[in-house]
């Protein structure tokens, strides 16, 4: 049975790669960008779900970690000539202006630096709980943004960075999304994952089981920040240009929307809703443009499609307050049971 499931997983991964290959060959650049964004939002959603969904820490600092990852990756991959073009107000700081490394290393550095920042923020802020933690992390994310706006010789301040080499392609985004799913999935199923969930359910009981609350919260927060940094780095090098205004609360809200819609504490739910939200966001673009219905002309209001998402979020929160998947996961066992129309061998819920 176990071998069968491993085989099925491998086949699913193979199908994914065949799909990526075909998409790479046939789709136009607009559709490719949407697919890339889907995979990036899968990474971002999973990293935030680890913190908010699995460990139950209500953190709103995601945009800050993404900014760290995006800037690090961008600075480490931009060629010298582009750097001098960008930094016409104040020249770039000394070792950075000629420093560059391959894309993967830059991405990794972005993730690690975001992780370090996550640790430095988490260590003091994780003593807070609930809403207070949300406010503190939101504040720290804004601090990161303001610092980036003012460190002219490192980040080029409010002017932002332009001409970042576009190294992100569909192989990178889907490959890294897959790696993220595998890493976070195995983390959740390890004894660390059980400890995270125990902390989410009842801190006092968790502590009396011998779980070091602070240590496990910081671990979850730091790993979440690391993957947020990777996601940010991919995003920056997909768009080719970044500036501090990109990393406002709105970005955090987008990711939060994904995990609430998908289910706080579900990996497969996050994947499904990341794809729905990203594709939906593009598909609903017609709402932003002016429309003619018969003789009626409705002028375009930009941001109209976000209203749809807000309404969707409200409906989810009121009527399906566990999101698409809740804390459940899609599993092969669940699928077999569905086909066999028999209860699971283990008993319990159908998943």
Partner 1 sequence: MLKIENLSVAYGGIEALKGISLEVEEGKIVTLVGANGAGKSTMLRSIVGLVKPKAGSITYQGKNLFAVKRHDLVKNGIALVPEGRRVFPDMTVLENLKIGAFTRKDHQEIKADLEWIYTLFPRLKEREWQAAGTLSGGEQQMLAVGRALMSRPKLLMMDEPSLGLAPLIIKDIFNIIRKIHSQGMTILLIEQNANAALHLADVGYVIETGRITLKGTGKELLDNEDVKKAYLGESVVAKK
Contacts with partner 1, residue ranges (CB under 8 A): 191, 194-195, 197-198, 201-202, 204-213, 265, 327, 344, 346-349
Q: How far is the CB of 134 from partner 1 (least distance, A)?
A: 21
Calpha distance 144→135 (Å, rounded)? 14
DSSP 8-state code for residue 78? S
Burial category of 335 from C-beta neighbours within 10 Å (exposed 0-12, middle 13-18, buried 19 and up): middle
Least distance in Å: CB of 78 to partner 1?
46
Query: 């993967």: which residue's tokens?
Result: 104
Sign of the C-alpha dihedral, residues 317, 319, 323, 329?
Answer: positive
Best CA proximity match to 213, nearest among 225, 202, 224: 202
Q: What minimum distance in Å lies between the beta carbon of 340 and partner 1? A: 17
- CB nearer to partner 1: give 25 or 208: 208
Q: How far apart are CA 74 and CA 202, in angstroms?
A: 41
Q: Output 205 or 298, the one with its CB closest to partner 1.
A: 205
For residues 65 and 43, give the distance between their C-alpha atoms in angstroms, rounded to a whole number: 13
> What H or E segment, with its residue span, contains residue 297?
strand 296-298
Shortest separation between residue 171's beta carbon and partner 1, angstroms: 37
Q: Of the candidates 134, 162, 1, 131, which has an alpha carbon nearest to the alpha carbon of residue 61?
A: 134
Smaller CB separation from partner 1, 202 or 289: 202
Nearer to partner 1, 76 or 198 (CB): 198
Residue 156's region, left for phi above 0, alpha for psi from -120 to 50, else beta, is: left
CB of 329 to partner 1, least distance (A): 13
CB of residue 215 to partner 1, shortest distance in Å = 8
- Judged by CB, which is closer to partner 1: 309, or 336? 336
Beta carbon nearer to partner 1, 25 or 191? 191
């Amino acid at each position: 049975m176990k071998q069968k499931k491993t085989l099925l997983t491998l086949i699913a991964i193979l199908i994914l790669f065949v799909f990526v290959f075909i998409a790479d060959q046939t789709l136009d650049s607009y559709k490719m960008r949407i697919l890339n964004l889907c995979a990036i939002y899968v990474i971002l959603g999973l990293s935030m779900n680890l913190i908010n969904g699995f460990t139950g820490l209500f953190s709103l600092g995601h945009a800050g970690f993404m900014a760290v990852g995006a800037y690090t990756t961008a600075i480490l991959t931009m060629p010298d000539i582009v750097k001098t073009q960008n930094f016409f107000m104040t020249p770039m700081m000394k070792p950075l202006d000629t420093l560059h490394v391959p894309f993967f290393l830059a991405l990794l550095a972005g993730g690690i630096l975001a992780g370090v920042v996550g640790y430095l923020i988490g260590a003091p802020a994780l003593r807070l709980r609930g809403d207070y933690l949300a406010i503190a992390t939101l504040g720290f994310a804004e601090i990161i943004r303001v610092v980036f706006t003012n460190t002219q010789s490192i980040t080029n301040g409010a002017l932002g960075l332009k001409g970042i080499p576009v190294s992100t392609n569909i192989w990178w985004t889907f490959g890294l999304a897959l790696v993220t799913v595998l890493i976070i999935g195995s983390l959740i199923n390890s004894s660390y994952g059980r400890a995270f969930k125990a902390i989410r359910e009842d801190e006092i009981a968790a502590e009396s089981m011998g779980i070091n609350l602070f240590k496990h919260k910081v671990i979850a927060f730091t790993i979440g920040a690391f993957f947020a940094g990777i996601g940010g780095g991919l995003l920056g090098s997909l768009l080719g240009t970044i500036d501090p205004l990109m990393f406002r609360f709105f970005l955090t809200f987008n990711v939060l929307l994904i995990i609430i819609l998908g289910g706080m504490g579900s990996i497969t739910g996050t994947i499904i809703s990341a794809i729905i939200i990203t594709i939906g966001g593009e598909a609903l673009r017609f709402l932003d443009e002016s429309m003619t219905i018969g003789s009626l002309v409705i002028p375009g209001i930009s941001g109209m499609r976000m209203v749809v998402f807000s309404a969707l979020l409200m409906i989810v929160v009121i009527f399906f307050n566990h999101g698409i998947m809740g804390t459940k996961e899609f599993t092969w066992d669940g699928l077999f049971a569905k086909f066999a129309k028999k209860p699971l061998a283990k008993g319990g819920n159908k998943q």
